[in-house]
A and B are shown apart, each in its own frame.
Chain A
Amino acid sequence: DAGVIQSPRHEVTEMGQEVTLRCKPISGHDYLFWYRQTMMRGLELLIYFNNNVPIDDSGMPEDRFSAKMPNASFSTLKIQPSEPRDSAVYFCASSFLGAGAYEQYFGPGTRLTVT
């Protein structure tokens, strides 16, 4: 299996622009998680989906952030408008209930820089 795929790997944008991060989970996985990693705050769970339905979005920092999962093989995390404080590495992870859903498989991450 190709593992969790994220694109782009690096994104540099100017403040105020819209940013869209993409994730393809491992085939057959029914949970998908979005995390943000920064030096100051470490790894934070932003939102997670089960069977394409958002279950918990309490970690989404503010209305500028939105996430969708239109089907089992694709999810997006959108920031509009972006701000310099959004600069971070964003990880997508997936898992499936058969494994107890506790083992999460992480993608390589998207490094976002907002100038």
Chain B
Amino acid sequence: AQSVTQLDSQVPVFEEAPVELRCNYSSSVSVYLFWYVQYPNQGLQLLLKYLSGSTLVKGINGFEAEFNKSQTSFHLRKPSVHISDTAEYFCAVSRNSGGSNYKLTFGKGTLLTVNP
């Protein structure tokens, strides 16, 4: 089974500051990794995904994440945040072999609050 740990439940930052949201995973098999964003009263939207290839993945809205297999991490970064980035961010993992490939296991989420 897979598990995901998001180390920070809340991250407050000022507008235009850089931000890193941390995600670590545990799995006995190879995995695919994802970051989703949830704006207030909305469903989740995919920010970016790592399936294979380059370990640095770029997503929408200027976000990027780096897959580090040795550290079992997939931290999300943005060099300069905007007020509109205020949302909850979820890291998720699925196995990339065998059955049930399409089950996503989510972390508990990190609430990013961008202050003026």
- Quick one: closest B residue to A9, CB to CB? B41
A94-111 vs B, Cβ < 8 Å mask (1 yes, 0 no): 010000111111111100
- Distance A55 CA – B46 CA, assembled complex (angstroms): 23
Name which of A95, A100, A101 has the most chain B CB atoms within 10 A of its CB. A100
Q: Is the CB of A103 within 8 A of B46?
A: yes
Q: Is the CB of B104 within 8 A of A104?
A: yes
B42 within 8 A of A: yes
Count residues of chain B with CB under 8 A from any CB of chain A: 23
A91 within 8 A of B: yes
Interface residue SS majority, chain A: strand
Smallest CB–CB gap between A98 and chain B, Å? 13
- Distance A105 CA – B43 CA, assembled complex (angstroms): 9
Interchain CB contact (< 8 A) of B106 among A4, A43, A50, A56: A43
Chain A, interface size: which category? 20 to 34
A88 within 8 A of B: no
Q: What residues of A have a CB within 8 angstroms of the CB of B101 in the complex?
A: 101
Binding site for A on B (CB under 8 A): 32, 34, 36, 41-46, 49, 51, 90, 94, 100-109
